[in-house]
Structure 1
């Protein structure tokens, strides 16, 4: 309930923009009906800076890095995504759907670092100690180096951290933490922002590592203000379909290493285990036939092979449909239009289905050519020979454009036994391969189609 003197503001749940009155459309991010009422923090004049000591600037030569170290998370896949391990003083945000395995991997990380004699504090506002204990027994995470506390008030959490002095603090989840001075409910924009700011300030001052678990919204972004992702040092997305065994941690932002790296895990009853050879698991069960082709995909600096399947059937409706799994349906429409106009495929009145196997989401342009070849193969019932892989971007004129990291893609394809490659001419001219590797260089989509026809 609003008390006298408490100021009400309206904050956009999309970007954090605040307004003294309710607005139908946010002037900053353009979202509609995104403003929620919040109570502004009441501060007396000068209270924010009254106890703050002034600091003088320091030259780069006087700054030392001797206290900056990385802690091994116990997962080589996660260390790769983080740039070498958990950096001291870093605040890391891990987002994922409910039930995807966030709490599982966070508890495993706490158990892993305890084996190196590092203490961790697991703060939860969603589960009881018994629930966490049962999960810990299942995962094999036991010992007096893993501390558990059930707390949601940010100041009490910080006091607990000061008393226990852990190297790693896990907050599961940031949406349950609140500051009572704000007067709003946990999970609101202001509560998430202020709680995160308090943890960031403590991490930078003491060197303690924080991992914040966050829920995601329907569109796949982390719940809370977009500003939250700018505040933290690392943003990790925990992806995967609950119908599949495999999970992917994707680094969307990293101040301590390269962004865009991924780590692949497999969900087992005993927890998440690393998948060191993603190409092998994503290609398991691949059969030779029409409409199926393999492509080397890049995630960060890491290449691995995935299978692209296409199916073209006569439509039973007045309006044909285009359905895709693991690929944006708008790209399917674009590729289909190029195939029909520039590749001579008759796709009118046909339903198009494209699937990326293994629960992988393909976003890079290099999958354009494999998708087109899968549609061509299915439409003409032409079997793609085993050992064939392809990659390349398609232009609207039907040209096959080169892509980055062609050498790594080819090397990974050859390592997995694919010795018949269809790729852009601009990429093939830069490669130096042995004579036993069959290369089809394509400047145009029609040249790639001809490579699949029987000779």
Structure 2
């Protein structure tokens, strides 16, 4: 009697394999995500495994330093996020919500680089050639050095990349490309894993910078195995509501630079354009209103002037509601507890809502003082001056602590006409901003 072959089940969310079917993946927690691999699929996976080379170890002192050259992407904001520009042979992964502008930005980048004499290949597996031509006309990026390949077969894409000597290749998107060596459907774990490995090999061997557009799941992560993000050199995520004009590009992994920078774009009729006056989009210069306070935060090497809005209203239910958009809800709860303890304000009977205008998310603690100021302003129904900024971190003891790069923040305030700043300690350098020192939360109320 012939021995029955062993079945293998694979999770379509993370690539975890099991010898038996499971309703819930023990690795990523996804439900109903296991499918059974056929005999041909298992054989194909075995054939595509990387064989260990016979390379021998060498002392690190004998390795020559490799200079990494970069060239501009023709988009200033994208260069900032990439750490100075595009690296030849780099593999870049770009994710984001549908309609946020991934294809628009990369097509415009391709057109801009084509005008500098570089040969660009745009591979589309989702749209027809006519659709892309219409978008290229709108973006004004049609050029003889920009080539379009309407193909989903990996072998055809490889042959074009090898024979035509392109400088940059854009894959739109990785979930639509398939490899004949893997018999599963396009977008599956096996296909995405195999195709990404082949693209990585092509990028390094032929010194081609490859940009991969990836779909995201409903949880907000890039669809496919986690190894996809490990294999690429840079992971970029688009943030922002597709229904609004403002878009933000943030780096979550970058082997060629820092991940602390963000790129800010505006969606216009001619596509995504770099935002020149970024801070102007995050605050209003209209008359002072209760519940509004200005602060300055750092995103990488860029200072942004933000408006913090607060609404404090009496709670109609037993448990008051705390809600924050663009600000950490747990930190908001901590600041409210501090106000009740130090200032004896009965906020336990009030609903508190916090909003950071412009759709940006604050990741540092320098906005604590502005959040407290906006809450007090709304609670007392007293407006704050729209030419004053509040900058400082608030501790659990009620102390206001110093924050870094205060000179850069004050300089950004000067550019937009602000005159006063409430900070923990005055700077040593000269500034046109009139600075007031506030070291405790209780003194902030006295100042207001």
Which residue in 2 is equivalent to 1:63? 64
Which residue in 2 is equivalent to 1:394? 394
Cα distance between partner residues in 2 of 1:312 and 1:20: 56
Q: Structure 1 residue 120: deviation in Å? A: 0.7
Task: List per-residue Cα deviations over 1:215-247 (Å, max 9, x = no partner).
Answer: 222332222222222211111111112232111
Which residue in 2 is equivalent to 1:19? 18
Q: 1:17 to 1:444 in 2, by over 3 A?
A: farther
Cα distance between partner residues in 2 of 1:384 and 1:255: 44
Q: 1:10 to 1:185 in 2, by over 3 A?
A: same
Q: Which one is further off, 169-178 or 408-417?
A: 408-417
Secondary structure at 1:384's aligned position in 2? coil
Q: 1:423 to 1:169 in 2, by over 3 A?
A: same
Q: Structure 1 residue 331: deviation in Å? A: 3.1
TM-score normalised over the length of structure 2: 0.90
1:77, 1:276 within 8 Å by CA — same for their partners in 2?
A: no
1:343, 1:398 within 8 Å by CA — same for their partners in 2?
A: no
Cα distance between partner residues in 2 of 1:43 and 1:245: 45
Q: 1:435 to 1:215 in 2, by over 3 A?
A: closer
Cα distance between partner residues in 2 of 1:45 and 1:423: 62
Task: List per-residue Cα deviations over 1:335-382 (Å, max 9, x = no partner).
Answer: 222222233222123221211111212222222221111111100012
Gaps of 5+ in 1: none
Task: List per-residue Cα deviations over 1:291-310 (Å, max 9, x = no partner).
Answer: 11111111112111111111
Runs of 4+ with deviation above 4 angstroms:
4-7, 24-29, 43-50, 52-62
2:245, 2:267 within 8 Å by CA — same for their partners in 1?
A: yes
Which residue in 1 is equivalent to 2:202? 202
Cα distance between partner residues in 2 of 1:44 and 1:111: 37
1:227 aligns with 2:227: yes
Cα distance between partner residues in 2 of 1:287 and 1:239: 30
Cα distance between partner residues in 1 of 2:116 and 2:36: 44
Secondary structure at 2:347's aligned position in 1? coil
Q: 1:323 to 1:245 in 2, by over 3 A?
A: same
1:246, 1:267 within 8 Å by CA — same for their partners in 2?
A: yes
2:294, 2:386 within 8 Å by CA — same for their partners in 1?
A: no
Cα distance between partner residues in 2 of 1:170 and 1:132: 13
Cα distance between partner residues in 2 of 1:288 and 1:260: 32
Question: Across the two proteins, how many residue pairs are aligned to each other?
Answer: 441
Q: 1:12 to 1:304 in 2, by over 3 A?
A: same
Secondary structure at 2:218's aligned position in 1? coil
Gaps of 5+ in 2: none
Q: 1:177 to 1:378 in 2, by over 3 A?
A: same
Cα distance between partner residues in 1 of 2:20 and 2:343: 56
1:42 aligns with 2:43: yes
1:11, 1:38 within 8 Å by CA — same for their partners in 2?
A: no
Q: Which one is further off, 357-366 or 166-175?
A: 357-366
Which residue in 2 is equivalent to 1:266? 266
Which residue in 2 is equivalent to 1:331? 331
Secondary structure at 1:327's aligned position in 2? coil
2:25, 2:33 within 8 Å by CA — same for their partners in 1?
A: yes
2:12, 2:188 within 8 Å by CA — same for their partners in 1?
A: no
Cα distance between partner residues in 2 of 1:64 and 1:435: 43
Q: 1:395 to 1:16 in 2, by over 3 A?
A: farther
Which residue in 1 is equivalent to 2:438? 442
Cα distance between partner residues in 2 of 1:47 and 1:221: 26
Task: List per-residue Cα deviations over 1:158-178 (Å, max 9, x = no partner).
Answer: 122123221000011112122
Cα distance between partner residues in 2 of 1:241 and 1:44: 39
1:409 aligns with 2:409: yes
1:246-285 equivalences in 2 (<5 Å): 246-285=246-285
Note the aligned Cα RMSD (angstroms): 2.6
Q: Structure 1 residue 286: deviation in Å? A: 4.2
Cα distance between partner residues in 2 of 1:38 and 1:162: 35
1:235, 1:253 within 8 Å by CA — same for their partners in 2?
A: yes
Secondary structure at 1:70's aligned position in 2? coil
Which residue in 2 is equivalent to 1:307? 307
Cα distance between partner residues in 2 of 1:219 and 1:339: 34
